[in-house]
Structure 1
Amino acid sequence: MTGDGGTPSGCDPQELRSLFLFEKLTPDQLARLCREGHVERFPAGPVYREGDPAAQLYVLLDGTVVLSRHVGGQDVEVTRASAPGVYAGAFQAYLGDQVPQVYNNSMRVTEPSRFFALPAGTFAAIMHEWFPMAVHLLEGLFFGAKSTQEAIGQRERLLALGSLAAGLTHELGNPAAAAVRATAALRELAGRTPGATGGSEADRLREEALARARTGISPGPVEAADREDAITDRLTDRGVAEAWELAPALVQAGLDADWLDRLAAATPEDEFGAAVLGVSHAVETELLLAEIEDATRRVLDLVGAARQYTQLDRAPYQVTDVHELLDSTLQMLSRRLGAGITVVRDYDRSLPRISALPGELNQVWTNLIDNAAWAIDSTGAGGTLTVRTAREGDRMLVEFRDTGPGVAPEIRERLFDPFFTTKPVGEGTGLGLDISWRIVVDHHHGDLRVESVPGDTRFQVRLPLDSDSPAAASTHESSHEKLSHEKELP
């Protein structure tokens, strides 16, 4: 019997007993290992590759092994060992189908080496038969460590994202603001540039053209095409060269053939072409300035939303307008929401500002909006996300309502448990609602509820309208209390 490419040979129970893994086994257990396993010899070179099905557990008898991981397109060495008894390969086989049973690294030997090889299925059966309690402890250790690593990793990514956003908002905000100021100054300078029309009526018509361009109101496609034809004909009749190039800018500024006739009446015939050309250039300049100004202001709006969202340049605890937080979060997640999701804001603007930790509330809004978007996307038909605020006695209600498939009654009570998720593997950590619960209940003394029927799911956050500083208040629920606390589920 061979494993992944080695040469098989006999197995000596006494040699196995000399290894730290097997030194406490009974003679019968050692005999079983030798019956169901075997010794393999490998020349210098690869033994198995990362990602291949994990078929064998390898225990080094003699030689040198090197383990590596594939990172960023390169194989990175993670360990090198020559001590008899070190092991690699299918050492997670006892977890069964709870984890993908593939080699999580690549192994090679740097010199001719011998291994005791045990098939993955045999290793799993022996572990469950000989060490049932140890298997349960190892499962708990494995998944607990994995969950902790995911939670810490998510938190570290959020902190890194926040730091990056803070740096970007600072770096982008200054040049964007400078661009807005420069655009305004350039528009003022362009407005003072003397025209080529000569004559007060012609100057007045030029200013009228610029004023129309500043409004940003232009005709629809059909009317624009008709106006372009009419203006091109007028200009051609009056001998203006390249009339077809001048017409689009004039039409985009909202001008028509009637305006052109008035300009012709106010301008000497031999100066008409220069007058039209001057107005066309002035209008194009104004339109470009408006485009630049609109783009830079949108950059400033995004910078402001990012700064509001991260809250990294503000005190952790402050009196906060919840609607500003909701708007900044919706703007930050606009790409995630996509064209298939209609967002409705149903705000009670009469609600007062509240004492809160705005950065943490933004995290709650992010989790709830992302979950709603995922639910709507799962239908494949789009839908509506309604964000509503209202007063309920001495509390503020913030409700996120989606038209997704709903939450099944049998899993509703587990929604806020850590690491529970209804999303496919790889799409959710199961921490979003747990974190949201802690922020709302522990840090803000509010509550978080869910009501759901197919087509109408509502996550409801209730926050005190008049409360002491959450930062100064003591946390009134430990993590254990949180898990046993009633979650206000219907």
Structure 2
Amino acid sequence: MTGGPELCEENELRSLFLFEKLGSDQLARLCREGRVYRFDTGTVYREGDPAACLFVLLEGTVILSRQVGGQEIDVNRSSARGVYAGAFQAYLGDQVPQVYNNSMRITEPSRFFVLPADTFAEIMLEWFPMAVHLLEGLFFGAKNTQEAIGQRERLLALGSLTAGLTHELNNPAAAAARAASALRERVAGMHRWLGEIAADPHHRANLDALTELHESAAERLAQLAELSPLQAADQEDAVLDWLDEHDVADGWQLAPVFVQAGLDADWLDRAAQALPAEFLGPALRWLDSTVETELLMNEIEDSTGRVSALVTAAKQYAQLDRAPHRRADVHELLDSTLVMLSRKIGPSIRVVKDYDRTLPPIPCYPGELNQVWTNLIDNAVSALGGSAADGTLTVRTARDGDRVLVEIGDTGPGIPRDIRDRVFDPFFTTKPVGEGTGLGLDISWRIVVNRHRGDLRVESVPGDTRFQVRLPLTEPDSDIEPDAHREQT
């Protein structure tokens, strides 16, 4: 370490991906309780030492390494601002040994935001109680399973899966937290509008009609068919025109919610016939709050359902003989994964589905295949530069002899030939520290090859990278060797 602590700037913390969603009060607390330090070239901490701090890189380069078979193996290197390492399990307290699980060294003078482990634990428990509960349950569930398994290879597989799932859980947990926050606001708005309606004796007489409209809207929402972006835009224009014609204020805010819930201009015509003209505006604004409440609850249900599916996949992977096995439509599995990752994919990435709908259901472990699709799609989005970047994500299915081919492609820069034969190796990743575990493709390979007797390979040139999964159409007759060759092209 060089010199004393430097001034902590809230704006500098806000510029990091780890803290960009935090509020001013939260950033102020981080600056009060954390410090900014400069470190000289060398080792910052060693694997096995007491985990005293969480380190967030502000500028410089970090290398993480682990002891494997008596040798120090570099597992990650990054110069990306905001990558973090250190006491990231501090929220578990004395339930686990609080030691660093890797060593960190720097190759040039570097600046870090350093947060004491006990402060990090307090912040996690206070700010993210749902995420901590889920991570805690996953951590100790995996630990108990490891103790029950005697074979070393299965212990290593479970550890790999647990680390990957810990990373994957962040997306649905964050989505559920965002939806819950928005839900609180919409419920407050719903109460406010209902209070205004109930306070007016003329409006109060129409509450029965309003209740019937709400029930009708809920039925439409339950039977909602998915719209293409073009269809949704056309319907929003039509609904906005209708609202303007009927002098309903803030129509630009109401139209997207109504269309998302399947409430078109025809439905609004029926609503107008059931309500007096002077009551129409307040009624529709109340309905907007109730409808969006339903949509947000659906989003929370979907997000927590994804968390549950990921935890179930971990249990299935650890207890192979108990995993549910059935015939499943691979397109349903792909579609459900695309839906759950829709926020991460973002609106700027074009998704192309090239499905062969004549393919029959295949014998498989559906929950585990969903984990494979999640890893491959997540990697494709990262290769395209994230949700804010342009590009095309292609999901294709086809028959390939006696197998089903599932291909996840992207138009990113491609995988350099000199690292292509390492992409399926455990802990190998090109992502910055904290953004990738290097386990996603290793886990996917194990699921496809060892569990499904299939094949996973990659073909890549600049502008066209394709991960290809081939799965048997029928039950395999025999087992394969657990370390079968991993193919790249």
Report the TM-score when normalising by structure 1.
0.47
Give the number of the structure with larger relative contact order, counting CA–CA contacts within 8 Å between residues 6 or more apart. Answer: 2
Q: Which has the larger radius of gyration?
A: 1
